[in-house]
Amino acid sequence: MTAAVTVVLTYGAMPASADETAPTPPVQVLVDPTSQTVRAGDDVTLSAQAEDALHEDVPVLRWDMEPAGGDWAPVPDSAGDATLEIDDIPASSDGSAYRAVFDDGLGGTLATNPAVLTVQFAPRFLTQPLGATVAPGGAFSLTVEVSAQPEASVAWQVATSSTGPWESAGATGTRLTGKATPSPRTTRWYRAVATNEVGVVASTAVAVTTGQLAPAAVRSLRAANPKSSTIQLTSTAPSGGGPVSGYSVTVKRGSTVVATKYVTATSLTLTEPVGTYSVVVRARGTGGDGPSTSVGVTVRAASRTLALSSATFYPFRDGYLDTVKLRAASTYAASGSIKLLDAKGRTVRAWALSSSTSWSVTFDGRRSSGATLAPGTYSVRLTLGGTTVTKMLKAAVTNAKASSLTWSVATIYPAKDGYRDTAVLSVRTTMPATTKVTIRKVGSSKVVASASLSRGTARTYTWNGRKAGKAVTPGKYRATVVVKGGDGPSHTTTRTIVVSAKKLVAKDATITVDAADAATFVISGDPRADDDGSVWFWSSPYLGSDIAAFAVKLGSTFNHKYSSIRLSGCLDDDVNDNSAAAVLFDRAGNISDIGFRVNDSGCSGVGVPASYVNNGQVRWFAGNASENYDYGVVDYWKITYKRYVLQ
C-alpha cells in the first residue's frame, strides 16, 4: 500500500525566482521531526525548521524516507514543504524513518535527525496450520507463522467441529504438539488465535483425524529345522492393536531376501536349502503393518554318523577293553537299528533304535546267545531312515607281551651291608597280564627264587640274592619271565644278573695336618702362622677377632661312603687359658650349629655328620673364643674316620 502524501508550506517558501539569494551560512536546524507510534490507517504529520545566520527561515530542499532495513530515498513532490503529511499509513511502514534536508548555504545540504514511525497493526498469519491423519494415539504437530505490531500472543483451540464451539487446547506459541485420540476414525479440529492490543485474529481451522490401529507385534515367534531343507515357523497372534487380516513373512540369507510370503495362519512351513536364515514376520490389518518380529534359524545338512570307542577290543572279561561303545547320531530325528555282522554277513547281535537324534550302545563282546564273540573282524552297520553307515570292529585275544624287562642293577651283593643288597626286576607289558618270575643260576635247572605277580601292565619283583635266608653262590643268574594276558598265549622273556660275594669293609683312617696347612682363607682379622705350622688367633675389643676357614680332603672310599668322622684341634704343648674354637660348615657351605673349643692341652673335637662331607672334604672355621686381649692357638688338626672298600 502506498501512502498519500500532502505537502503544506508552513515555514518559509520556495524562492520566487532563480535570482533569490541562497541562505547565509551557517544554517542550523531549529526543529527536528518527531518519532511517532501510530496504527495502520492513521494519518501522520512530520514538521521541520531551519534558519541561517541572519535568522531567516531556510526552505526545505526535500524530505527523505528510509524503509526498515532499506536505504534513504527522496519523498516525491516534497521540495519546499516544511511539514510532511502521510495519509492512511500502511502496516508495511512500520520501522521506517523520515528526515528533512536543507541547503546549508555552502553548496551542500544539512539533514535533520530522523523520525522513526512505529506502525501498530493487528496480527496476520503468514502461514496457516496443515491438518494431519495419524494412527490412534499417534503424535502430531501443527505450526503457524504470525506477524503483528506489537508482538502477538498465540493460543491453540480445539473443537469437534470446524465451526466450534472452541475450547483451549492447553498449548501456546506458534507450534502445537500432541497425541491424537486413541479411538480410530475420529476427527478433532484445531486453530491458532493470535492476539495483541490492536486486534484478535484466528487461523484457518484444520482437522487431525485418526485412522485404524495397526496390529501389534506377533508373539512367541519360533523357527525350527525339523527335517532336511525345512523351516517350521510358529507364532501366537498379536495381543492388542488393530484387527489382523494376515501375516507377511520375509526370509533373508545374509542381506539377500530369498522368499516372501503372505499367510493368514500363525504357522508356516518353508523349504530352503542348507544355510543360516533370518525370518521377519509382521501382522497386517486395515490399519497397516504391525511391528516386525524376527528369529534366526539354520537349515542343517542331513547326516548320519557312527563312531566306535575302539576299533579293536578284547572280549575276555578282565577289565581291559573288554567292551566297546557304539555311538550313532543323526541331524534329524529318526529310528533304525545297529547290527553286528560276521565275515559272512550273518547277524551276530542287533539293537533297535527308537526315534531320536543320538544313541549309545555298549557291546560286551557277547553274541545274542550269550556266548563270547570269537576273534575276528566284524561289521557294525547303522541303518537310519534308509541311510546305512558301516564301521569295522576287530575282536582280538589279549595277546600280552613284555614291552620292557630290566634289572635295577647289573650286580647284586647279598651281604646285607646296605650296598646293593637287593635288585628290582621291572616288568611292563603291552596290555594287562599275569606275570610269573623264576630265577635260576645259569647252567643249572634249580630254582632259587620265584614269584607270581598280579594282573597289570607294570609290575616289579624284588630279589635279595638269597635262598632260604642264605646268600646264593656267586655267579650269573637268569630271571625267566612268563607273561600271559587273559585268553592269549604265554610269552617268555629272560634277563640275567650277577651275584657277587663281595661286601663293604670299613677301614680306619686318620689324617693329621699342621693347622696352617689346612687354612683356605682368612675370614676376618689377621690369624698368624708360626714356623712350626701352628695358627694363632688374637682377640681385641677394638679390632675384633681373628677368624680363618679350613678344609681337609679325606682319603678315597667306595661309593663316597664315610662314617665315624671326628674333627679335633690339638696342641703340642700345654697352653693356659686357650681360647680357640671351631665350627663346622654343612655340605652347602652354611654355618652349622656343631662346634667345639680347643682346650689347654691335648686334643678336643666333635663328630662330623657324614652328610656334611662335600666332594670328599670336611670344612670348618676357627677363631679366638674371647672378646678380650686373649689369644687362642691350634698346632695341628686331626681327623679320624672310617672309609670303605668293596672286597
Q: Indicate the burial class of 563 (C-beta count within 10 angstroms; 0-12, 13-18, 19 or more).
A: exposed
Strands 219-224 and 145-149: unpaired
C-alpha cell at 121: 497493526
Residue 366 DSSP symbol: B
Q: Does the structure show a pLDDT above 70 at 4?
A: no
Residue 27 C-alpha cell reads as 544554517
- For 343, the 3-state DSSP assignment is coil
The bridge status of strand 83-87 relative to strand 44-47 is antiparallel
**What span, in angstroms and rounded, lies between the C-alpha atoms of 162 and 171?**
19
pLDDT value, residue 347: 95
pLDDT at 13 over 80: no
Would you list the domain boundaries of the chain? Answer: 4-121, 128-210, 219-299, 304-395, 402-500, 506-646
List, for residues 184-231, the tens digit of each pLDDT value: 888 999 999 999 999 999 999 999 998 888 889 999 999 999 988 999
Confidence of residue 12 (pLDDT cuts 50, 70, 90): very low
Beta strands, E only, 165-317: 167-172, 175-179, 187-195, 200-202, 206-210, 219-224, 230-236, 246-253, 256-263, 267-271, 275-285, 288-289, 293-299, 304-308, 312-313
> Over the Cα atoms of the chain, what is R_g?
63
Asked whether residue 10 carries a pLDDT value surpassing 50, the answer given is no
Note the pTM of the prediction, 2 decimals. Answer: 0.51
465 — pLDDT class (breaks 50, 70, 90): very high
- Tell me how many degrees the CA angle 229-232-233 measures, rounded to the nearest 5: 140
**Side chain identity, residue 17:** S
User: Which of these ranges, 41-45, 77-81, 93-97, 138-142, has the smallest mean pLDDT?
Assistant: 77-81
Is residue 412 over pLDDT 90? yes
pLDDT of residue 543: 65
At residue 108, the pLDDT reads: 92
Written as one letter, the residue type at 302 is: A
> Could you check whether the bond before residue 609 is cis, i.e. omega within 30 degrees of 0?
no
**Per-residue confidence (pLDDT) for residue 136, from 0 to 100:** 83
Answer for the pair 47, 99: CB distance below 8 angstroms, yes or no. Answer: no
The answer as to CATH 2.60.40.10 being correct for domain 506-646 is no
Pairing label, strands 115-127, 36-39? parallel
Checking if the pLDDT of 462 tops 60, the result is yes
The pLDDT score that the predictor gives to residue 541 is 67
Nearest residue to 316 (alpha-carbon basis) of 349, 365, 361, 363: 365
Residue 411 pLDDT greater than 90, yes or no: yes
Q: Contact, 180 vs 136, CB < 8 A? A: yes
Which pLDDT score, from 0 to 100, does residue 15 have? 38
Contact 541, 611 (CB under 8 A): no
**Is beta strand 246-253 parallel, antiparallel or unpaired with respect to 275-285?**
antiparallel
| Contact predicate 558/646, CB 8 Å | yes
Q: What would the 3-class secondary structure string for 92-153 be?
A: HHCCCEEEEEEECCCCCEEECCCEEEEEEEEEEEEECCCCEEECCCCEEEEECEEEEECCCE
Q: pLDDT over 70 for what percent of the chain?
A: 96
**Where residue 21 falls among pLDDT bands split at 50, 70, 90?**
confident
Cβ 235 vs Cβ 244: under 8 Å: no
Please confirm whether the linkage preceding 150 is cis (ω < 30° from 0). yes
The 3-state DSSP class for residue 518 equals helix
- Interacting residues of 592 by C-beta distance below 8 A, sequence separation 6+: 583, 584, 585, 586, 612
Mean pLDDT of 267-275: 94
Which three cell numbers mark 380?
Answer: 557294525
- Residue 48 — very low, low, confident or very high, per pLDDT cuts 50/70/90? very high
Beta bridge partners of 585: 591
The top-level CATH class assigned to 402-500 is mainly beta
Confirm or reject CATH 2.60.40.10 for domain 219-299, answering yes or no: yes
Given a contact cutoff of 8 angstroms between Cβ atoms, the answer to whether 180 and 155 are in contact is no
| Helix (H) / strand (E) containing 382 | strand 376-384
Q: Which residues contact 500 (CB under 8 A, 6 or more apart)?
A: 411, 412, 413, 474
Q: What is the pLDDT of residue 3?
A: 44
Condensed to tens digits (0 to 9), the pLDDT of residues 570-592 reads 999 998 888 899 999 999 999 99
Can you say whether residue 645 is alpha, beta or left, with left for phi > 0 and alpha for psi between -120 and 50 degrees? beta
Which of these ranges, 3-7, 479-483, 551-555, has the smallest mean pLDDT? 3-7
Tell me the pLDDT band of 542, cut-offs 50, 70 and 90.
low
Fold of 304-395: Immunoglobulin-like (2.60.40)
Return the C-alpha cell found at 443: 647252567
Q: Which CATH number fits domain 4-121: 2.60.40.10, 3.20.20.70, 3.20.20.60, 3.90.79.10?
A: 2.60.40.10
Eight-state DSSP code of residue 375:
S
- Residue 276's pLDDT band, with cuts at 50, 70 and 90, is very high
The one-letter amino acid code at 245 reads S
The average confidence (pLDDT) of the chain is: 91
Distance separating alpha carbons of residues 246 and 381, to the nearest angstrom: 49
> Is the pLDDT assigned to residue 333 strictly greater than 80?
yes
pLDDT digits (tens, 9 = 90+) for 477-496: 999 999 999 899 999 999 99
Identify the pLDDT of residue 9.
32
Backbone angles phi, psi at 610, to 5 degrees: -60, -25
Phi, psi of 171, rounded to the nearest 5 degrees: -140, 145
Can you tell me whether residue 434 is helix, strand or coil? strand
Longest alpha-carbon distance in the chain: 175
Distance CA 531, CA 552 (A): 20
> Is the domain 128-210 a CATH 2.60.40.10 member?
yes
pLDDT in the model for residue 8: 35
Omega prior to 26 cis, within 30 of 0: yes
Chain segment 588-611, per-residue pLDDT in tens: 999 999 999 998 999 999 999 999
407 pLDDT above the threshold of 60: yes
Q: Are both 402-500 and 506-646 of the same fold? A: no
- pLDDT of 281 > 50? The answer is yes
C-alpha cell at 519: 687354612
Residue type, 399: N
pLDDT higher than threshold 50 for residue 19: no
Determine the average pLDDT of the residues in 359-363: 96
Q: How many CA atoms within 13 Å lie on the side-chain side of 257?
A: 6
Element (H, E) at 56: none
Is 4 within 8 Å of 86 (Cβ atoms)? yes
